[in-house]
Structures are given as C-alpha cells and as structure tokens.
Structure 1
Amino acid sequence: MFLLTLGVLLWSFAHLFKRLAPTARARLGDPGKGAVALVLVLSVVLMVIGYRGADFEPVYSPLPGMGHLNNLLMLVSVFLFGVGGTKGTLYTKMRHPMLTGVIVWSVAHLLVNGDVASIVLFGGLAIWAVVEIVLINAAGPWARPTGGRGLKGDAMNLAGTLVLYGLIAGVHIWLGHNPFVGTYG
C-alpha cells in the first residue's frame, strides 16, 4: 500500500507544483519540465506496482450490475479526455474536460471496486482532479477558446473513444477483469 500511496501523492504534487509554487516552477525552466515528466512516469509505475501488489481489504460491496454503469461512465470519461484534442462542440463550452474525465473515471471505478487500494487509487486521483480544477479556476477567468471543428471533431472523438475503449476493455480482460460481466468481485 505504501508504493500505491506514494505514487498517488507524487502524481498529485507533480501536477500541483506549477499551481502551488509557480515561482519555483518558473525558476526550473525547461529542465524542470523534464524532471516533472520523470516524476510523473515514476508515479504511474508506483501506482501500477502498488495497486497490483496490494492485498484485497474490502470496505464495501459494490451493488449488483454496477459494471454496466461503470462501462457507460468509462465511455463518457474517454470521450471527455478527447475533447481538447479533437476540438468538437464541447471544446468551447467546457473548461476542464480532461480533469472532469478523471473524476468520472474515478467514480466509475469506485462503483465497482470497494477495497482499500481502489479507494486510495481512484479516490486519491479524484481528489487531485477536484483540487486541480479549484486551483485553476482560482488563478483567473477562463479564456474561452474559439473555433474548433464542431460535429466533425465530435465524430473524430467518438471514433477514437470507441477504439480506445475497446483497447482498454481488452487490457482489462487480459488482466482477468472482464468489464462486460455486470459486476466485479
């Protein structure tokens, strides 16, 4: 559990460093970006190793059928991750699509995983995303982007979402967690 917690904390602080200590971050310049990227890679490795190695300590039992809601929320989450890249209709209407996608992803996983490690991982990343949104919003008003591709961007995002969702589901099945069985345990 230590590695998992350390990974979540490193992820959070590496992302929040720019917001919490902008002067220190600016002094680091471009080499600082590389250092932050290295810390982020290390945090992901720690989260994966820590989560996979954590003992199963149940806290609550997911309700039957929550896997189906998880799947729907995951489609929404993956779509939100692509909003900025494909610049569809939500691009000019939504300030934090990726961070919102992280929150949806976290909630989806907490619906089907009621153990301590899942609460640390998914709950911790949801808290980080909420804090990040609050800090970004407090930093100043949103300069709403203009343009975008409209429905063409949405179509591109939807196609990418379905492909990526299929890959994610395939990896989960390969790891022994079939997302299409309706409930997990």
Structure 2
Amino acid sequence: MQVLVLGLILWVASHLFKRVLPGLRAKLGDLPGKMVVTVLSLAAIILMVIGYRRAEIVPVYTPLPGMGHLTDLLMLIAIFLLGVPHSKGLVKTRLRHPMLLGVLLWAFAHLLVNGDLASIVLFGGIGAWAVVSILLINAQEDWKRPAPGGLRSDAIGGAIALVVYGLIAGVHIWLGHNPFLGTYG
C-alpha cells in the first residue's frame, strides 16, 4: 500500500505544482516545467499501478449488484470528456473543466464497483485531486467561454471515445477484469 500512496502523492504534487507554487514553476520555464511534470506523472502512474496490483485486498464495503453496467456507461462518458478540451465541439463551450470532470467521473465509476481499501485510496485520491484542482483553477483564473463549436466535432469525439473505450475494455478483459459482467467481487 505504501507504493500506491507514494504514487498518489507524487501525482498530486506534480499536478498541483503550478497551482500551489506558481513562482517556482515559472522559474523553471515552460518546456522544462512541463518536462518535470511529465516525468513525475509517469513515475506516479507506474508507482500507482504497481502499488495497486500488489495491495492486499481489504474489503471496506460491498458494491451493489449490477453497478458494473452503470460504471460502463459512466466510463464511456468520462472518456469522451477527457477528449473534449482537444475538440472544437459544442460540449467544450458548456463545460469549464471537462477533463477534470472526466477524471472525477472515472474515479466515481470505479468506486461503484470496487469496495476494497486500495481502490478507495487510489480512486478516491485521484477524485479528490480533481476536485481540488477545479477549485484552485476557479479561484486563480477567470474563464472565457470558447466560441461555440459544431456538433460534428462532438460526434467525432464520441466515435473516438468508443474506440478508446473498446481498447480500455480489452485491456481490462486481458487482465482478468471483464467490465461487462455487471457485478464484481
């Protein structure tokens, strides 16, 4: 569990660096600052995956039967939201933080079907980071709504989300966690 927590701390620290210590981040410069965050983020992901896979299963709550189906739907929406900032669609003009909302939805969806301590630490921690990030950005920056885009761009984003969702589902099945069963345990 320590490796998981270390990875989570590294993730949060690297992603909040710009918000909490903007002067120090500015001194690094744009490209070097982004490189530091990228390297720390990759290390964080590796530590979180290793820590989560090694963590002892300590049940905390029992997920409700059939929650896997709701999780499947929420994950498709979350994946779509992760791509919205890179589109010129209508959704981008309606949501200020689509990527962070996608991460929050991803975390919530996983907590619906995973009731063990390691899952609560991982998904709850990432979800809490997303909420804190939204609050910090809102407090530090004004938002200017982007020019309205077209539904075509959102439709393309939806198609891409379906493909990515299929790939992620395939990886989950390969790892022995079929996301289409509806009930886990």
Normalising by structure 2, what TM-score?
0.97
Q: Which residue identity lines up with residue 132 of structure 1 in the other structure?
A: S
Q: Which runs of 5+ in 1 are unaligned?
A: none
Aligned match of 1:168: 168
Report what 2:118 is aligned to. Answer: 117
TM-superposed deviation, 1:147: 4.3
Task: Describe the SS at the equivalent of 1:3.
Answer: helix
Whole-Å separation in 2 of the counterparts to 1:2 and 1:178: 27
What is residue 183 of structure 1 aligned with on the other side?
Answer: 183
Match of 1:7, as an amino acid? G
Q: How does 1:23-172 map to 2 (within 5 A)?
A: 23-29=23-29, 30-148=31-149, 150-172=150-172
Please report how far the alpha carbon of residue 86 of structure 1 lies from its aligned counterpart in structure 2 after TM superposition. Answer: 2.0
- CA distance in structure 2 between the partners assigned to 1:99 and 1:33 by the alignment: 18
RMSD across aligned positions (CA) = 0.9
- The Cα offsets for residues 9-62 of structure 1, whole Å up to 9 and x where unpaired, read as 111110101000100100111323212211111000000100011110000000
Q: CA deviation at 1:87?
A: 2.1
Partners of 1:99 and 1:32 lie apart in 2 by: 20
CA contact (8 A) 2:89 2:148 kept: no
SS at match of 1:58: coil
Task: Report the TM-score, using the length of structure 1 for normalisation.
Answer: 0.97
Deviations 1:116-136 (A, max 9, x none): 000010000000000000000
User: How many residues were matched structurally?
Assistant: 184
Taking the aligned partners of 1:173 and 1:113, their CA distance within structure 2 comes to 16
The 8 Å contact of residues 90 and 148 in structure 2, kept in 1 or not, is answered as: no
Q: Percent identity?
A: 62
